[in-house]
Amino acid sequence: MAFRSTVDVVTAERRLNSAHLSGSSPEDTQSSSDSDPARGLNRRGVLLGGLGTLGIAGAAALLSACGGDDEGSTDTKPGSDVGSQLAAMFPRDVAYLAAGVPARLIYTIIDSEGVPALELPEMATFTVKQDGTQIGDEVVAKSRSENMPRPYLAFEFTFPAKGVYDVYAKVDGKTLNSPVIVVDPSEVKIPQVGSPLPAAPTATTTNTLDVDPICTQVPACPFHEHNLADVVGTGKPIVLLLATPAYCQTTACGPILETLMEEAKSLPPEVIVIHSEVYKNPTAVDDINDATLAPLPLAYKMSFEPSLFVADAAGTLVARGDIALDAGEMREMLTLAR
């Protein structure tokens, strides 16, 4: 498998911006490699969706973000947050948003230097438009930061068709926007909400599948007793986390596993919880970019981490939390594991 480099991430983002500004379709601005998340990707970039490689601040600076437009104003007083921008925290360098599928969109506000805000307004109102026409209803998103070093804004939205959309956020009297590309569901390779959770091998304490170590949390987490391939289809709810605490370069990976370890204590006993590492042999290489991927991210064609999957007893994926997930939102997702 090949992987996209940081340069390719920037190029893809520029193509998105070009499509948005010129009015052309996403297909017109993407090469064949852009339509396949597994082609031309850098190992570290593919697993962190552009966020991990640069750190959250650096990646946010690369994300398409426009401060102020004709629907709002930007504060230009001395010492104010001139240049505040709406920055998407979900992956933008691979096919991620699928038409007709519920999507969880996560955003932050960055300053002119690309640094994410340490504080966000308690609430923000989001509106989605296409060609100037509002699509669906306004959505109110609350700031989330429980057990997180920096807050984020999250809301769910279902895009009706593929194409380029503008996401607007009303924050402290200003309207900020950021364009997104929505593709046909067949182009999104990762498991989608509403679809069956795919069976895939995961390392356990009794069968490591040559993954070493099977857990980089210190001490190791207790979620390596079940192989996902063996428990899918057994009629039990499943909570699956892909994360690598020791090798993730953002502040989200470590906390998300620690948070799951705490929140899982309240789950019913029939819920199966599994943690999968990202890399198969991280200690065997000098550069983590040379490490082999573990079986789960290969099988799921994952292009980022961390990611939490929640499946109900029927085996349907009912929630997925990518990149940033605070304790409060995780609790909400875990209630669906029934």
Please state whether beta strands 317-322 and 307-311 pair in parallel, antiparallel, or not at all (unpaired). antiparallel
Sign of the CA dihedral with 65 first, then 309, 279, and 253 last: positive
- Could you tell me the CATH superfamily of domain 6-187? Macroglobulin (MG2) domain (2.60.40.1930)
Q: Would you tell me how many other CB atoms lie within 10 Å of the CB of residue 287?
A: 8
Domain ranges across the chain: 6-187, 228-334
10-residue mean pLDDT series, the chain (338 residues): 28 39 41 36 34 32 36 34 83 93 96 92 96 97 93 97 97 93 97 98 98 96 98 98 87 82 97 97 94 97 93 98 96 97
**E strand or H helix that includes residue 55:** helix 51-62
> How buried is 278 (Cβ within 10 angstroms: 0-12 exposed, 13-18 middle, 19+ buried)?
buried
Give the pLDDT score at 92. Answer: 87
- 228-334 domain in CATH 3.40.30.10? yes
Give the pLDDT score at 39. Answer: 33
Q: Quick check: 60 and 88 in contact, CB under 8 A?
A: no
Cα distance between residue 68 and residue 189, in whole Å: 34
Task: Look up residue 284 and give its two tokens.
Answer: 């065997």
Q: Would you tell me how many other CB atoms lie within 10 Å of the CB of residue 78?
A: 5
Cα distance between residue 40 and residue 8, in whole Å: 8
Q: Residue 148, Cα to own-chain centre: how many angstroms?
A: 15
